[in-house]
Structure 1
Amino acid sequence: MKIVLLGYMASGKSTIGKQLAKKLYLNFIDLDDYIEEKEKMSISTIFKEKGEIYFRRIEHIYLKEILNSDEKLVLSLGGGTPCYANNMDFINTTNAISVYLKTTIKTLVERLLKEKSKRPLVASLDNEKITEFVAKHLFERGYFYEQANFTLPIDNKTINKIVTEIRILLH
């Protein structure tokens, strides 16, 4: 079994993925961490030095590598992963189960403001501009996110509650 968690940045994919993997006795892979390990540089450095097109190409290659492996795992994607290189089509044609962790703009903005410095896409934005940025991005990406096997609204839920709800979806 492969479980793929997708959603916007700060929707909790990595946090929830780690807990879900622990409960299901599966390995956990964060795609961004995997890319950084393979490329021996941070995502922001890859973007700066090699550009987004290069990043999206290798992101697709590593996604395929992980999903084509025989390993049972929980995989959290980067926020943009489903939107490029026909990645959602690929995910949906594998034996993976995809879950969209759906979060409201309000919740995402609250979370992003707390960790702004760790989020290169919003780090340089004025706080007032972040809501507009998230709303526009979410609108553009929603089409891809909605192609997941399951959509799980997660606002105002504990990590344990979300993990439990995902486990229920899987049965």
Structure 2
Amino acid sequence: MIVVLMGYMGSGKSTIGKKLATLLNYDFLDLDDFISENENSSILSIFKEKGEIYFRKKETESLKEIIDSKENVVLGLGGGTPCYGNNLSLLKNGKNVITFYLKLSIKNLAERLRTERDERPLISHLTSEEELLEFIGKHLFERAPYYSQADYNINADDKSKKDILENILMHLI
């Protein structure tokens, strides 16, 4: 089985994904890390040197490769992955793929991302709390229709990591 976690940046895909993989005795894969390793370059460098279209093409190729060749994996997607190309279709039609949307409010995402601005290229230019809230709100509005097509929507607002993991595990058993 491939357990896929999707959601906005800061939603906990990597944190929850690593813990879930340990509990299931699966490997954890971060799609952005997978692309970086294959390209021998950081995501930021790929965007700067080759552009977003190139990155999105590599993202789709990598997603397809993982779905076609891996098993017993927890996969954390990039925040935009399900929203581009035929990525959502690949996920929904993938054999033994089960998807979870880690859903958080704009307010909670902003709280999590506030201290991570410098490490997140998409939001590093935002200087005020108001700008951050507006940016996240706009993106969530655009991306929610994709995220909500996950097999399961997990409300992660004000939930402990343990509660989120238990909620996911209930759907896997």
Q: TM-score, normalised by structure 1?
A: 0.98
Indicate the RMSD between aligned Cα atoms, in angstroms. 0.7
Which residue is 2:58 aligned to? Answer: 58
Matches within 5 A, 1:12-161: 12-94=12-94, 95-127=96-128, 128-161=130-163
Q: Is there any run of 5+ residues in structure 1 with no aligned partner, and where? A: none
Q: Which runs of 4+ in 1 moved over 3 A?
A: none
1:76-102 deviations in Å (ceiling 9; x for gaps) = 000000000111111000120000000
Among all aligned residue pairs of Structure 1 and Structure 2, give the percentage whose two residues are the same amino acid. 53
Which residue is 1:167 aligned to? Answer: 169
SS at match of 2:64: helix
How far the C-alpha of 1:144 sits from its partner, in A, is 0.5
Query: For residues 162 and 39 of structure 2, what CA distance do their matches in structure 1 show?
Result: 33
Query: For residues 86 and 7 of structure 1, what CA distance do their matches in structure 2 show?
Result: 17
SS at match of 2:101: strand
SS at match of 1:8: coil
How far the C-alpha of 1:70 sits from its partner, in A, is 4.0
SS at match of 1:122: coil
How far the C-alpha of 1:51 sits from its partner, in A, is 0.4
Give aligned pairs, total. Answer: 171
Whichever residue aligns with residue 132 of structure 1, its letter is E
Whichever residue aligns with residue 165 of structure 1, its letter is N
1:118-151 deviations in Å (ceiling 9; x for gaps) = 1000001122211000000000001100110000
Query: For residues 160 and 118 of structure 2, what CA distance do their matches in structure 1 show?
Result: 24
Q: TM-score, normalised by structure 2?
A: 0.97
Whichever residue aligns with residue 13 of structure 2, its letter is K
Query: For residues 155 and 70 of structure 1, what CA distance do their matches in structure 2 show?
Result: 31
Whichever residue aligns with residue 126 of structure 2, its letter is L
Whichever residue aligns with residue 80 of structure 1, its letter is G
Identify the range of structure 1 (95-104 vs 62-71) with the bigger mean alpha-carbon deviation. 62-71
Query: For residues 99 and 140 of structure 2, what CA distance do their matches in structure 1 show?
Result: 18
Query: For residues 70 and 33 of structure 2, what CA distance do their matches in structure 1 show?
Result: 20
Identify the range of structure 1 (120-129 vs 74-83) with the bigger mean alpha-carbon deviation. 120-129
Contact 2:2/2:70 (<8 A) preserved: no
